[in-house]
Structure 1
Amino acid sequence: MNTSTKAGFLIDLDGTMYAGHRSIPHAAAFIDTLREKGHPLLFVTNNSSRTPEAVADHLAYHGITAFAQDIVTSSQAAARYVAERGRGRRVYAIGEEGLRAALLEAGMELVDDRPDYVVQGIDREFSYRKLEQAVGYIAAGAEYVLTNPDRLLPADGKLVPGAGAIAASIREALKQTPTVIGKPFEPIMRYALERLPCDGEVWAVGDNPETDIGAGKAAGLKTALVLTGVATPDNVDRLLMETRVRPDLVCTDLAELLDRLGIAGSR
């Protein structure tokens, strides 16, 4: 694999590249500029429901050049984690297409009985039966792996329960904490760094101090907070105080970030 001495970037999606179906100003130009200047990059998302191909299509909808190989999802990182654990290959999956596809691609077997792992992400068809099965399997010794801890997700202008909300019911039933893969935890960033063709410094870029910046800090990366999503010019001081996270850079938008890093760009 070719490497680059130029800075690399691990870039968040929702709130940084787009906000649902709304494009975020300067996002497409930011990516185009990094590519033109030879900076390696990957998009890193806690989203466990979409496949990398679907994520790339959504980026293209916003005019952002991306391919499936540019995407790192929490489902992929979770699948990589269980595939390397060596405890077996049988998985009871609570999740959607992105999670199931990632597990199968990693060589895992999706089963409904005697699993070695329970791997859980967001599941908009979650039911009491799935809860009962998950609790039973984990109590019997299956390892519990959570793709991401997001309790709430933005959807069409409102907040809806995320994977972390489902996890709360399983965790409360067993009083057992899962292995968490996604941001703000380090496993997803470690997996992304293994895939990033860069031997220089790496920046984690995102809009959420707790998850994006927290994950970057956990992985020992440089961090840049942009005020285009969870963090805004109006609430950033409060959020940084509450989370006790200190980004290396705080920028109003991605165009300012390019300027602050000395990478030629245009507003």
Structure 2
Amino acid sequence: MKDYQGYFIDLDGTTYKGTERIPAAARFIKRLQDAGKTVLFVTNNSTRTPEFVANNLRENHQINVTADNVYTTALATADYLDKAAGDRRRVYAVGESGLRDALRHRHFRLTDQHPDYVVVGLDSQVTYAKLETAVLLIRAGATFIGTNADSNLPNERGMVPGAGSLVKLVEYATQQQPIMIGKPEATIMKMALQKAGLTKDQVVMVGDNYNTDIRAAINTGMDSLLVYTGLSTPEQVAAMPVQPTHTVNSLDEWTVE
């Protein structure tokens, strides 16, 4: 088995399911930390700040990490726009505090008045009015950005709608394809590699969702480890043309080199 220096790890469905713990994940991460591996949670969830995510992992899931161990699609979106925008710094965002804070940290102005970009992410308090505004602004010329394409999120209640469901609604109403940032796109993975200071050959992507986590690794040329604790099933994965590098039923099965 390859001796990976870095592990990029998904959250929802891999590390926990909503408020429900996945004890094997905590044991897995402790083994990685004891072995001196780089651990970075690379998540498509744009709703929370890295500080909130790290605090949740420590207090509710017995995983001792800090905000530096977290890279969200909100951060990746803000980093992408920071490099691409130049002096075009006006953004209308459909999303929660994680996305808004990440954009403000990169000195973007959040406004519904002639924005340069419209960013659509997960928003549990979304309204028709917010989506209506996003659609009209994009149709008026703003560049359409989607944080991620997840159709669903696994939590303790089941598979609830993800950010991709909102992105698809706006896409349908505008008839415009968004620039997508999160998994399965390589954009978030390349930025995460830069943050970790590692090359793609040194890292394995760990996740439960073939269509996001594993495809992100494939699109980046990275190895992958699929764990069957969340969305994808063995039957679904068996039908895929490109298989994950590794698969396990539980992260307890993984041996850290």
When normalised by structure 1's length, the TM-score is: 0.89
Q: Give the direction of change, closer, same or farther, for the CA distance of 1:250–1:6 in structure 2 (3 Å limit).
A: closer
Distance in 1 (CA, whole Å) between partners of 2:48 and 2:149 is 16
Secondary structure, in 3 states, of the residue corresponding to 1:26? helix
What does 1:1-267 align with in structure 2 at a 5 Å threshold? 7-60=5-58, 61-87=60-86, 88-199=88-199, 201-231=202-232, 235-236=233-234, 238-258=235-255, 263=257
Distance in 2 (CA, whole Å) between partners of 1:41 and 1:159 is 26
CA drift of 1:248 comes to 0.7
Secondary structure, in 3 states, of the residue corresponding to 1:41? strand
Is the 1:6–1:198 Cα contact (8 Å) retained in structure 2? no
Q: Deviations over 1:34-57 (max 9, x none)?
A: 112111120011101111111111
Q: Give the direction of change, closer, same or farther, for the CA distance of 1:239–1:109 in structure 2 (3 Å limit).
A: same
CA drift of 1:205 comes to 0.7
Q: Deviations over 1:143-189 (max 9, x none)?
A: 11111111222343233222111112211111111011111111111
Distance in 2 (CA, whole Å) between partners of 1:37 and 1:209 is 27
Aligned partner letter, 1:35: Q
Distance in 2 (CA, whole Å) between partners of 1:30 and 1:101 is 30
Distance in 2 (CA, whole Å) between partners of 1:25 and 1:156 is 15
Distance in 2 (CA, whole Å) between partners of 1:241 and 1:177 is 30
Q: Deviations over 1:173-208 (max 9, x none)?
A: 111110111111111111111111335621001111
CA drift of 1:242 comes to 4.2
Is the 1:213–1:245 Cα contact (8 Å) retained in structure 2? no
Distance in 2 (CA, whole Å) between partners of 1:23 and 1:155 is 10
Which shifted more, 177-186 or 129-138?
129-138
Gaps of at least 5 residues in structure 1 are none
Number of aligned residue pairs: 252
Which shifted more, 136-145 or 239-248?
239-248
When normalised by structure 2's length, the TM-score is: 0.92
Distance in 1 (CA, whole Å) between partners of 2:30 and 2:93 is 37
Is the 1:6–1:38 Cα contact (8 Å) retained in structure 2? no
Distance in 1 (CA, whole Å) between partners of 2:164 and 2:210 is 18
Aligned partner letter, 2:48: R
Which shifted more, 24-33 or 111-120?
24-33
Aligned partner letter, 2:117: Y
Is the 1:42–1:196 Cα contact (8 Å) retained in structure 2? yes
Distance in 2 (CA, whole Å) between partners of 1:164 and 1:18 is 20
Distance in 1 (CA, whole Å) between partners of 2:197 and 2:25 is 22
